[in-house]
Structure 1
Amino acid sequence: MQDKSISFKTVSLQKDESVLNAIKHLLALVDLSLDNHVNDFVVGYVEQQIVACAGLDHNIIKCVAVHPDYQGSQLTLKLINTVIDLADEKNQHHLFLYTKPDNVPFFKSCGFYPLVKIDETVTLMENTPVGINHYCQKLAQHKKVGTCGAIVMNANPFTRGHLYLVELAAKTVDWLYIFVVEEDASLFPTAIRHQLVKQGVSHLGNVSVFLGSEYMVSKATFPSYFLKDQTLIEQTYMAIDLLLFREYIAPALTISVRFVGTEPRSELTNAYNQAMPYWLEQKALSTAPIIKVIEIPRVTASNDVISASRVRALLAQKRYQEVYDLVPKSTWSYLQQHYVIEDK
């Protein structure tokens, strides 16, 4: 059936819901499901039937599927090239995709290069052979001597709890690097969170604050559509993120310690904390040096742990007096300007 003419079209699910069920049906035929973060698709038609699709979520290619009757490397190659053209139109030039390891040779032929592989479950690839190396070279320009540690935080927003963790960690190592996760799905945009962290730790002489990168995998962007088991989805996301850190980011800055606060509330975050020693400390899992994980108990206020989620909840309820007790002065100053709070 592959000799039939196939035409490609770009569709937006928000504007063209008529194709939604057809795409879902095609994905189901190849044991995939629709990723809810994907709105833009390239679809291949034979007459009125959708026989191929590939989605684009910002700079991540997702939901690549070809009808079993039309599967073949040439059609799939045309499909990938077309979705790359779509990304180019949207000024997304640095692309990533997640695929099953069996598909890696094909995607290599499309110009993608593997970054990390998790067992036989998933491989993360990017469309450049030098992307992560260039990023690490830039990081290495800020490399310090001595024992170096790191904290990766969302800081949504930066609280006294974060500050406690940073100050304690900074006393433990010669130099501390903080990475602020790049994710605008948060209540506080990335640029604001980065600014608040920098202001909040400016009194510390051995701390550098970096904006996170695309090589720090967000749960929001991890494609769960080809993994059916929720536990496996979460474990795989954590493994990719931690191995990227261990194999690329940490060596660039000679990071040998990673600090994290305990997590009594979020099961997912607590599971991530528990995964850290497994992926960072076990010698057999990577040729990269091991990274010691130090978990620091959360600081409390009014008999409850200080957390960003607690601050956000209090802000929503306009309980500003309680917020004041949970955030450093720099964060409070920002909140005063943006939440119309009277001076203390």
Structure 2
Amino acid sequence: MLGLQIQEVNLNNENEVREVIEYLSAFHLRFEKDIDYTILVKDNNKIIGTCSKSGSILKAFAVDSEYQGQGVSSYMVSFMLDEMFNKGIHHSFVFTKKDNREIFKSIGFKVLFEAEGVTLLEHGIYDINDYLNKIIKKYNLDTTVPKAALVMNCNPFTLGHKYLIEKASEENKEVLVFIVEEDKSSFPFEERINLVREGTGHLNNVKVIEGGEYIISSATFPSYFLREEDDKLKAYTEIDSGIFAEYFCKKLNIVRRYVGKEPYCSVTSAYNSALKHILSGGGIELIEIERLENKDGYISASNVRRLLKDNKLQEAYNMIPKATWEFLNSNKGKEIMENLKATDSPH
């Protein structure tokens, strides 16, 4: 636009990042740690707008009120979409306040789902129905058969995960296990999904499927515009379970979703409670299964990671399936354990 300049922000420059943080604070927005690209729009060196992205997700979007309605928003988002396209990202999302949804719709975004205070839109060469049709074809799914489903991260795959899948397998004709695809975990996605496939190969009615972009991880849910923790959890739960009920369940004929009961984490417990309420509204049953435990308590991926981080591989033996044990003793597995000693990740 005439007179306006777009400036790419050097995210390694503390002063430039601080400038963005200060600008966003006027809109009660936060600059999240996973942002990998940011632009500013300036009018005679005055910042009048900003937009960022993390992977395929647009976020931290703001425009001065006096410039709204003048095409600045469209100019900025179009620039971001071009930049993403040049980097090979041909499909994108934006989580935004409902007040901003018309801005994005005007430049080709489609509303995917709306929760209280939050709208999720998508843009690109395919949409969620294309994705689900691809899944149906790839895994030869018979959509006339009612199914059960589980959504798991498996960081790493434990006997607890295996137990939940086996319970679902016993109680249902067909079971779909969706593995969260976002690589925000200690164990990379390819290793996680392969371990689940190896560890459940004996279950003929179970199919392990990549979660894709539509199984939203709580680790990647953008909450930069939600100020209260309760609001973040509520919005994430509504969007995550709402998309699952509205699209996955209807298209794939999923009538049950299985989760493990949460004895320790109040956030996960609240999530399960909200999930049950939302899914039931769509006629989908939420089945909560008591978690598997051994002499040391409940088996969980976080406990396994803690042992690995403390260099106690042998103590983790009774918490993991054979496939996971063999992987941890491989070169790749040993490399991950070394990285764990330096840091840890959620789920």
State the one-letter code of the partner of 1:12. Answer: N
Identity %: 36
- Name the residue aligned to 2:129: 133
Correspondence list, 1:1-344, <5 A: 5-14=3-12, 16-119=13-116, 121-128=117-124, 130-141=126-137, 142-144=140-142, 145-282=144-281, 289-337=282-330, 338-339=333-334
| Contact 1:34 1:225 survives alignment (8 Å) | yes
The C-alpha deviation readout for 1:81-123, integer Å capped at 9, x for no partner, is 111122122211101001122222221111100011113x011
- Name the residue aligned to 1:285: none
SS in 2 for 1:151: strand
Distance 2:57 2:296 in 1: 43
- Name the residue aligned to 2:344: none
| Contact 1:239 1:279 survives alignment (8 Å) | yes
Describe the shift of the 1:91–1:130 C-alpha distance in structure 2 as closer, same or farther (beyond 3 A).
closer
State the one-letter code of the partner of 1:11. Answer: V
SS in 1 for 2:133: helix
The C-alpha deviation readout for 1:183-224, integer Å capped at 9, x for no partner, is 211010000000000000000111000011110112222221
The C-alpha deviation readout for 1:31-50, integer Å capped at 9, x for no partner, is 32222221311111223322
How far the C-alpha of 1:4 sits from its partner, in A, is 7.4
SS in 1 for 2:155: coil
SS in 1 for 2:329: helix
| Contact 2:10 2:17 survives alignment (8 Å) | no
How far the C-alpha of 1:129 sits from its partner, in A, is 8.2
Number of aligned positions between the proteins: 331
The C-alpha deviation readout for 1:4-58, integer Å capped at 9, x for no partner, is 71111222322x3222222122212223222222131111122332221100111
Range with greater deviation from structure 2 (20-29 or 60-69): 20-29
- Tell me, which stretches of 5 or more residues in structure 1 are unaligned? 283-288
Range with greater deviation from structure 2 (150-159 or 19-28): 19-28
Describe the shift of the 1:219–1:77 C-alpha distance in structure 2 as closer, same or farther (beyond 3 A).
same
State the one-letter code of the partner of 1:159. Answer: T
CA RMSD, 1 decimal: 1.8
The C-alpha deviation readout for 1:219-267, integer Å capped at 9, x for no partner, is 2222211111111011101110101100111122211000111111222
| Contact 2:254 2:284 survives alignment (8 Å) | yes
Distance 1:33 1:266 in 2: 26
Describe the shift of the 1:73–1:136 C-alpha distance in structure 2 as closer, same or farther (beyond 3 A).
farther
- Tell me, which stretches of 5 or more residues in structure 2 are unaligned? 338-347
| Contact 2:10 2:16 survives alignment (8 Å) | no
Describe the shift of the 1:237–1:180 C-alpha distance in structure 2 as closer, same or farther (beyond 3 A).
same
| Contact 1:153 1:180 survives alignment (8 Å) | yes
| Contact 1:217 1:241 survives alignment (8 Å) | yes
Range with greater deviation from structure 2 (169-178 or 45-54): 45-54
Describe the shift of the 1:4–1:263 C-alpha distance in structure 2 as closer, same or farther (beyond 3 A).
same
Distance 2:328 2:123 in 1: 40
- When normalised by structure 1's length, the TM-score is 0.92
SS in 2 for 1:95: strand
SS in 1 for 2:185: coil
State the one-letter code of the partner of 2:42. Answer: Y
